[in-house]
Amino acid sequence: MGVFPSARRWVGIAKEVTPGTAVAPALTIPVDKFDPSDDVTQLDDQALRGSMAKQYGQYSGPVMSSWDLGGPMFGDALGYLLHNILGGYAVTGASAPYSHTYSLLNSGDGQPVTHTLTDVTGVPTTSGARQYPYSCLSELTLTWNAEQLCTWEAKAVGWPSVVPGVAPTNTLSTAPPIPSWRGAVGIGGPASAGTLVTDVSEFSITLSREVTPYHTADGTQAAFVIARGPLDVTGKFTQIAQSEQRLLDLLANTQQQLQFVLSNGLTLGALISVQFDLQKVGYRTTKISQGTIFTYDVEFQAIANSTNVGASGGLAPAKVLLQNAVTTY
């Protein structure tokens, strides 16, 4: 009997043409973890039958899948995840680096695209893989600490997993991860325009939205539709306490522009950068923290505005500019 070493595992992603129809992976995402699950709602028969038993039957009800992915942030794979959770997308550029702009989709039905995640473990027969179609992100978090690599974590729900008929192709990402010390934070304006804050040691931003499966009597255990609801953008950062400015901002309810940029520092086709623009944020808490020196731990929430919108109009709390050598997502 053979075994399946976990070191040979790889995870791929691809945009679906039709939501729920699994597709072969377009790119392999190097990850530290991928925790998928098929979640079956068990329907219990506990109707009284004159015996001192409790459980008389168990029947399969609706089935969904879910997964949790995490690891170093790769600037080519990030575009797939941003497209999934935000929906609004446009690309410009005749050659690399291409500029990919993401914002909240406010036109049509407001539903972003869906993706298939492919988990290659070697365990399933025939192809050695399981695919998780109709994947809809409920949360995407980017985190950096100035002493570490920038990392991400994504969570999603989808349709029940399927086994593809043929073994998927491993198409590895060629983009290296980016050290967090290359990050830049702008408060009160863009970092590139002179409002760069150089004393932030940690930063994280979370894009989250309601994701609700709707099951109907359509003869299948999968959801009829997985609906994406409102988007919320929150985050936190740690700033060395050289003044009380962040506390004063909280007390005055000063709603400032916040920008986060992470770049590999290269140019032309080798450039990889991601820029989060939040035109208006409200501070939720500002707590002083005692270590070797004092720091402030600041929590914020982005506020919808007309500046951060994309081509679909409306209002949006954030816009993301991703630059890399990928032609389109």
State the Cα–Cα distance between residues 25 and 100, nearest whole angstrom: 20
Q: Is the dihedral of CA 144, 148, 152, 153 positive or negative?
A: negative
Report whether 280 contacts 302 (CB < 8 A): yes
Q: What is the pLDDT along the chain (329 residues), one digit of tens a residue?
A: 689 999 999 999 999 999 999 999 999 999 999 999 999 999 999 999 999 999 999 999 999 999 999 999 999 999 999 999 999 999 999 999 999 999 999 999 999 999 999 999 999 999 999 999 999 999 999 999 999 999 999 999 999 999 999 999 999 988 899 999 999 999 987 765 557 899 999 999 999 999 999 999 999 999 999 999 999 999 999 999 999 999 999 999 999 999 999 999 999 999 999 999 999 999 999 999 999 999 999 999 999 999 999 999 999 999 999 999 999 99
Query: Residue 56 — left, alpha, or beta (φ > 0 → left; ψ -120 to 50 → alpha)?
Result: alpha
Query: Does 329 reside within a domain?
Result: no
Residue 46 lies in a domain: no
| Domain-embedded: residue 287 | yes
Whether 111 maps to a domain, the answer reads: yes
CA distance 209 to 118: 23
User: Quick check: is 108 in a domain?
Assistant: yes
Write down the pTM of the prediction: 0.95
Structure tokens belonging to residue 82: 């941003």
First to last CA, the chain: 41
Residue 188 is assigned to a structural domain of this protein: yes
Q: How big is the chain, counted in residues?
A: 329
Range of the domain at 235: 6-41+61-324
Q: What percent of the chain has pLDDT over 90?
A: 96
In-domain check, residue 47: no
Q: Does 309 fall in a domain?
A: yes
For residue 241, the one-letter residue type is A
Give the total number of structural domains in the chain: 1
How many other C-beta atoms can be found within 10 angstroms of the C-beta atom of residue 103?
Answer: 26
Return d(Cα 99, Cα 90) in angstroms, integer: 8
Collect all residues with Cβ–Cβ distance below 8 Å to 80 and sequence separation of at least 6: 13, 14, 15, 27, 115, 329
Give the CB-side neighbour count of residue 33, counting CA atoms within 13 A.
11
Residue in the structure block whose two tokens are 């002083």: 288
